[in-house]
Amino acid sequence: MQHDLKFGWLSPVIGNRWSDHKPIVVHQVDHILPTVTQHFDSVWIADHFYGFDARTDPFMEAWTTLTWIAARFDNVELCHHVLGHGYRPPALTAKMAATLQVFSKGRFILGIGAGWRSDEYEAYGYDFPKPSVRFAQLEEVIEICRRMWTEDLPSFQGEHYRITEAAAPPLPDKVPPICIGASGEKVGLPLVGRQADMWNCSLRSPSDWQRKLGIVRASAESAGRDPDDIALSTTVEKALPESDSESAELLELLSGHRDLGISHFVLDFGNPLDTEPILRFAEQVITPMRAS
């Protein structure tokens, strides 16, 4: 399957000393995203509860924030980067996703993972089992979501979770694609191959990416899936270009990633305060990549 080239904008929900302790996404919704959404294909929101410098730093809740963005901007896809499945019961996640998919008219992608921030789980009173258990739970969460999005009275009995005729009307006309964020080669990547519609992972080096991709593809084939059905996504953390030469460097970087099969780029540009470099990136990077 040929996947369309797409560009996602990661809008930070944190407020810290670099943003005068004001959540960056709040500023971006009013001043940055109106420009971003004219050139980018998707907006992504991280799922945590408090800051990384200090727990008292503002940090906006992910579902509420993405729903607000969905209402404000009707021309982009919407995804979390990525949900920690243990923060919400599986059936609740499925119901929330179905609701947002209806309101957004099919623009929602369920970005989800096994979670990693143990201190946050413990602070909020959530269990944080070992990785193999969290990924086994994640696979059951995905199964529950897909059943609740497509069946009138779905039931499921797993090792970790169960539902009994867990109706979630109205069922979405378009089943939300599932983007799994994972990098672990023993458990996470095989799960991606079995279950993901999209895979998001950091690209450390071409050789590291190719090895990980090989695991995903082999797992997909073993599950009877076409590996090419899985869209490949990576997150790139850079500064927006301030000059033609900086644009050229980003164009070379992302073009090289595209040559590795990546079709959906999630760009973390931090906290730009004006739109000029966004327009530069759109004109000097996005436009030529789409044209080629």
Q: What structural domains and CATH numbers belong to the chain? A: 6-291 (3.20.20.30)
Q: H or E segment at 199?
A: strand 198-200
CA 107 to chain centroid, in Å, comes to 13
First CA to last CA distance, the chain: 18
Q: What is the pLDDT of residue 44?
A: 98
Reduced to 3 states (helix: H, G, I; strand: E, B; else coil), residue 259 is helix
Query: Is residue 2 predicted with pLDDT exceeding 90?
Result: no
Q: Mean pLDDT over all residues of the chain? A: 97
What integer is the mean pLDDT of 77-104? Answer: 98
Is residue 87 within 8 Å of residue 63, measured between CB atoms?
Answer: no
Contact assessment for residue 41 and residue 6, using Cβ atoms and an 8 Å cutoff: yes
- Whether residue 18 has pLDDT greater than 90: no
The length of the chain is 292
- CB 235: neighbour CB atoms within 10 A? 19
Residue 276 to residue 281: CA distance in whole angstroms: 9
Confidence check: pLDDT of 89 > 90: yes
